[in-house]
A = this chain, B = another copy of it.
Amino acid sequence: MTGSDAAPRIVIYGVGQYGCLIARLAAEKGWPIVAAFNRAGPKVGQDLGRVAGLGRDLGVFVQDSESGDYGALDADLGVVTHRDLLSANMDAYRRLMGAGLNIACHGVQSYLPRSNDPELAAEIEALAQVNGVTFTGCGIWDMSRIWSGILTAGPCTDISSIHISSLTDPQGQANSLAQIKQYCISDTVETFYAKGIDRNKAALSKKTIPEMVLRALGYTILESTATIEPVVYDVRVQTHFVPEGYFEPGLVMGVRFHCRTTTKEGVVGTGLVEQRMFLPGDVEHMYWEVEGRPRNRMRVERLDSAHATAGNLFNRIPDIIAARPGIVPVYEMGPLR
């Protein structure tokens, strides 16, 4: 992105890894940060510039999200990096949209609310309409999984099926053992099922990846389904998250999703999405295959996952501010520039 005429005025809701990355990017580009909110804890009351690792004050103090002042926010957009599920973010949406702010949400269900949680999607749509603001889910899927699929299908005059396979490193976008443990990495297979990871709603939302590409291409969706299974290796796996430097064989090292979307037109979209500890030689990538005339393949490699997800979200902000009111998925906006 080479710049925009009027710098967007933003609010950060959730001052964790991604909220801090967005704050640093905004500060670098000279975008005003109007306010920042976080759950109760040591960050509240500190200057956002210090919390975000800028090494200087921004003159913005992190407020407690429960008791903060949402009445006087003179801003264009709120960046919500709070949680993955819509249900966990509803308070944030209500507070920020109620203050007249557009929303850029990093939560994985927010890419396509209608398919992940139709009831809350209806509430979000109503909130957006009544406040005249836009709600968009965005982040690393934007370029690497959604628009790459749309582009791969672009030259086709006939399509029979689309398929995405991907391999991502759970360590790439995480900075603690707790973060990679969300999918029971380093736990036993029994724990994986006991904790219901195979029914995890955030994980199941990956079923919307082929669905969003098919929607963008104009197909009428019938159904999207997904299954989740643990990935286990019979060799040790290196990690920097435990002192001994490796995980023992036989433990859960990641998750494998299979998903399938059917359409009225008969075109099928499938996905095989692996998020697992890397073995030597593995490279993080997404690979789209479109069958039809012509057949196309596209492979995306993201060398800097964490910055890529922040960059995807950050570069979408002007599009979200310019979009019509309501829930507007990134596939309706054109590709990032």
Contact present for A154 and B337 (CB under 8 Å) = yes
A residues 280-323 in Cβ contact with B at 8 Å? 293-305, 307-308, 310-312, 314-315
User: Is A218 an interface position by the 8 A CB rule?
Assistant: yes
User: Is A157 an interface position by the 8 A CB rule?
Assistant: yes
Beta-carbon nearest neighbor of A148 in chain B: B151
Q: List 14 A-B contacts (CB under 8 A).
A: A1-B157, A2-B217, A25-B157, A28-B157, A143-B151, A143-B152, A143-B154, A151-B336, A156-B311, A157-B310, A294-B304, A298-B301, A334-B335, A335-B335
Query: How many copies of this kind of chain does the complex include?
Result: 2
Contact present for A337 and B217 (CB under 8 Å) = yes
18 further A-B pairs in the complex, CB-CB below 8 A; given A143-B152, A294-B308, A296-B302: A2-B217, A2-B219, A2-B265, A3-B218, A28-B157, A143-B154, A147-B154, A155-B311, A156-B311, A156-B315, A157-B310, A293-B307, A293-B311, A296-B301, A297-B301, A298-B298, A298-B299, A298-B301
Beta-carbon nearest neighbor of A334 in chain B: B334
Contact present for B155 and A336 (CB under 8 Å) = yes
A295 to B283, CA, bound (A): 14
Contact present for A142 and B155 (CB under 8 Å) = yes
A312 partner, pick from B155, B305, B314, B334, beta carbons under 8 A: B155
User: Is A60 an interface position by the 8 A CB rule?
Assistant: no
Given A151-B143, A154-B312, is A296 in contact with B307 using a C-beta cutoff of 8 Å? no
